[in-house]
Structure 1
Amino acid sequence: MSLKTKILIINIFSIFIITLGIALEIKFVLTQNLEDRLILRTSNMASILSDSIIEPLLSNNVYLTHQILTQYKENNSEVGYIDILSNQNEVLSSTFSNGFPKELYLLQISKTESNVAVFSSEMGKFIDVKYPIADGSLGYIHIGVTEREVGQRIQEIMEKILFLSFFINLLASLLLYKLTNTITANLKKLTLYAKNIALGNKVLEPIIKTNDEVRELFISFKHMLKALERSSKEEIQLITKLKDEEIKRELLKRTMETLEKERKRLSMEIHDSVMQNLASINIMLKIFQSKLDQKEKLDLENIQKLIEATIEELRNIANNLRPPQLEKLGLKSSLESFFNETEKRHNLKTNFDFSISEEKLDWTWSINIYRIIQEAISNIVKHSGANNAFVSIKEINDKIEIEVKDDGEGFDVDETLSKKSNRLGIVDMKERTKTYGGEFFISSTKGGGTIVKISLPKPKNDDIG
């Protein structure tokens, strides 16, 4: 069952529950109101009837009294019976042809201050209205009316309410389906786009037609990609134009530092701007969720999981742009975190050996080593098909020795370096190594895995800061 179908079912069920509650409340209020009106109408009837039987009662004309009561009962369909009791609780006259019911007699002679009594019988529910004849000197008249008319009226009203609620439910369901379809479709497009960008795949930009937070999120993401692409192109153009190696390395070093600053800015923009837009979407869903029944709220978690997956992808991109642990916890912890994340996402297990002192490594050296290893692991994930990687960082003879191995398929190094489209990762590692006065070596055989070795001189005092 799709997410949109689940939300539609939740909406229909919720509106049904709400409508049912409202209908029951309306039914209760209408019943009270119609019963009050029925009692008032019966009291008026009793008042008129009592005036018309005073003379027959005074003349002790039982036959005429019975005829008047019977005629009133026949002319009023809601009247079930009419009887007259004396002050000594004697039945003077009634419309009952088969004897006066004992239960009704006991009810009418019971001492009560109320002139209205409700009771049930085989014929249904009755309201017994008591009214004095000649201010009670000649006894009391009792009229029993049924609630059939009240029930029929309430049934008609309830049918109209349920009929109207059906159309309201249908309209709300259509609007909700359209809204949910728009949100989920755009989020899926954006999530897939972010995943492909993170993996380095070239894909067409998704078409986001809505003018909401999702579109703002996409625009911010697109601006970030363009800024990174522009910075990379400018870096490559400047490097290729320079022939002097020393100037070239110095400029490359400064370019890398500038690029790292730009990555930091973009990483902060993702956290502070892009993710805020996603938070707005989440708030919108929570507002809708609060309108549902408590038991149904859990079914909206699929949309929130989709948002969380998008946030997770953006967080990974932001972390790749600027590893947060590097400044706080150092190079070793940052690499361990990176290896753990790679194992979770790509099932590549990394055996890590770190045996150098980080005290002399400032941010520039740490991020440079981090980027080299990050690129090496990225190449393993994309091209090697390896299950295991082996990374070691050691200090030997005043040099930092880095080695990255894998048990993958291997490749022809010369053939790969001859293809510009496939050698950018290797070139990046090599140029970074040379920029800091190091040596770069790569070897690989088909079916025998790949080894990348990097030797960097320990940073001097003037390299730190």
Structure 2
Amino acid sequence: MLIRIGLAPLERLTRAMTTIDLLKPGPRLAATGHGEIAELITTFNSMIDRLEAERGSSTARALSAQEAERRRVAQELHDEVGQSLTAVLLELKRFADQVPASMRDELLQVQEITRSTLDEIRRIARRLRPGVLEELGLVSALKALAAEFSEHADLVVGRSLDKNLPELDAETELVVYRIAQEGLTNTVRHAHASEVDIVLRALTDGVELRVRDNGRGLGTSVEGAGIRGMRERALLVGAELTVASLPKRGTEIRLVVGHTGGRR
């Protein structure tokens, strides 16, 4: 009995070592026990602190580089491909006015395909670089996001967006937007849902985002790259992300962001 009591802190340390996930921070182990056991637990806690800090720093650099690349690609799609297709449309219109009537219908069909392609490229560019977020703020950006998914996916997107939000800095607004975007994308790809709701509301000391669908839920599947990417973004601004799923009741993604100040 005495040996079991003495080794209990070591058993807790062993369980922590096998279950710890740097994307889901939790409380540190109490440095209980005698002599070297307490010292070992303290060393383990220090190691986890260092690993979480290093992961946070590397994640910040990676996400910053990713956003910069998205902006570059979106700009090139808009400036290069978009302008080229616009020029093609103008030429097609000019030719449509000159060709015989027998060829006009076919030319108009090509013109319509080109116009649809241009609209799709513009839509992709907006997803890569949400200009409305920078220009009009988070609420307007989420409205535009919901409208886009409603239009292009077989999905009813409801929204309840509180306009009286505390001020958030640009990085935090981008995190909230990207998590909402990824949540909607996951719903379209995997949930087999017919409805999804976006809720953004002010808290006493921050904001809360919820993306909730009526799909099949996660079941026994493990978290994929999409959810883990959301967790990384949440940790970047010190936010809390939870993913709840029940059979036949869909999935809910909940993000709680503390008050960070800055631009809104």
TM range (shorter): 0.7 to 0.9
8 Å CA contact retained: 2:168, 2:260: yes
Aligned: 1:338 with 2:145: yes
232, 235, 243: which is aligned to 1:434? 235
Tell me what 1:182 maps to.
Answer: none
Tell me what 1:10 maps to.
Answer: none
AA at the equivalent of 2:206: K
Task: Quote the sequence identity (%).
Answer: 28
**CA 1:376–1:258 in 2, change beyond 3 Å: closer, same or farther?**
same
Tell me what 2:253 maps to.
Answer: 452
Aligned: 1:325 with 2:132: yes
Tell me what 1:390 maps to.
Answer: 197
Provide the alpha-carbon RMSD of the alignment.
Answer: 2.4
- Describe the SS at the equivalent of 2:221: helix
Tell me what 2:29 maps to.
Answer: none
User: Following TM superposition, by how much is the alpha carbon of 1:276 offset from its aligned partner in structure 2, in angstroms?
Assistant: 2.2
**CA 1:360–1:337 in 2, change beyond 3 Å: closer, same or farther?**
same
Q: CA deviation digits over 1:105-155, x for unaligned, max 9? A: xxxxxxxxxxxxxxxxxxxxxxxxxxxxxxxxxxxxxxxxxxxxxxxxxxx
AA at the equivalent of 1:270: L
Tell me what 1:161 maps to.
Answer: none
**CA 1:359–1:304 in 2, change beyond 3 Å: closer, same or farther?**
farther
User: Following TM superposition, by how much is the alpha carbon of 1:443 offset from its aligned partner in structure 2, in angstroms?
Assistant: 1.4
8 Å CA contact retained: 2:165, 2:202: no
- Describe the SS at the equivalent of 1:409: coil
Q: CA deviation digits over 1:28-73, x for unaligned, max 9? A: xxxxxxxxxxxxxxxxxxxxxxxxxxxxxxxxxxxxxxxxxxxxxx
8 Å CA contact retained: 1:439, 1:456: yes
- 1:351-370 matched pairs, under 5 angstroms: 351-355=158-162, 357-358=164-165, 360-370=167-177
8 Å CA contact retained: 1:433, 1:439: yes
348, 355, 363: which is aligned to 2:155? 348
Aligned: 1:275 with 2:82: yes
8 Å CA contact retained: 2:96, 2:108: no
User: Following TM superposition, by how much is the alpha carbon of 1:307 offset from its aligned partner in structure 2, in angstroms?
Assistant: 0.4
User: Following TM superposition, by how much is the alpha carbon of 1:436 offset from its aligned partner in structure 2, in angstroms?
Assistant: 0.9
TM-score (norm 1): 0.43
Distance 1:388 1:341 in 2: 14
User: Following TM superposition, by how much is the alpha carbon of 1:399 offset from its aligned partner in structure 2, in angstroms?
Assistant: 2.7
AA at the equivalent of 1:424: A
- Describe the SS at the equivalent of 2:75: helix
Distance 1:340 1:356 in 2: 17
Please, which runs of 5 or more residues in structure 1 have no aligned partner?
Answer: 1-241, 418-422
AA at the equivalent of 1:454: L
8 Å CA contact retained: 1:437, 1:457: yes
8 Å CA contact retained: 1:257, 1:364: no
Tell me what 1:286 maps to.
Answer: 93
- Describe the SS at the equivalent of 1:361: coil
Tell me what 2:215 maps to.
Answer: 408
**CA 1:284–1:243 in 2, change beyond 3 Å: closer, same or farther?**
farther
- Describe the SS at the equivalent of 1:416: coil
8 Å CA contact retained: 1:442, 1:450: yes
- Higher-Rg member (1/2): 1
- Describe the SS at the equivalent of 2:211: strand
Aligned: 1:304 with 2:101: no
- Describe the SS at the equivalent of 2:157: strand
Distance 1:356 1:456 in 2: 16
User: Following TM superposition, by how much is the alpha carbon of 1:273 offset from its aligned partner in structure 2, in angstroms?
Assistant: 0.6
User: Following TM superposition, by how much is the alpha carbon of 1:292 offset from its aligned partner in structure 2, in angstroms?
Assistant: 1.9
- Describe the SS at the equivalent of 1:425: helix
Please, which runs of 5 or more residues in structure 2 have no aligned partner?
Answer: 1-48
8 Å CA contact retained: 1:330, 1:358: no
> How many correspondences in the alignment?
216
Relative contact order, higher structure (CA 8 A, sep 6+):
2
8 Å CA contact retained: 2:180, 2:211: yes
TM-score (norm 2): 0.74
8 Å CA contact retained: 2:191, 2:217: yes
8 Å CA contact retained: 2:89, 2:115: no
8 Å CA contact retained: 2:166, 2:202: no
- Describe the SS at the equivalent of 2:168: coil
**CA 1:304–1:433 in 2, change beyond 3 Å: closer, same or farther?**
same
User: Following TM superposition, by how much is the alpha carbon of 1:344 offset from its aligned partner in structure 2, in angstroms?
Assistant: 1.2
Aligned: 1:266 with 2:67: no
- 1:25-424 matched pairs, under 5 angstroms: 244-293=51-100, 297=104, 299-355=106-162, 357-358=164-165, 360-412=167-219, 415-417=221-223, 423-424=224-225
AA at the equivalent of 1:403: R
User: Following TM superposition, by how much is the alpha carbon of 1:295 offset from its aligned partner in structure 2, in angstroms?
Assistant: 9.0
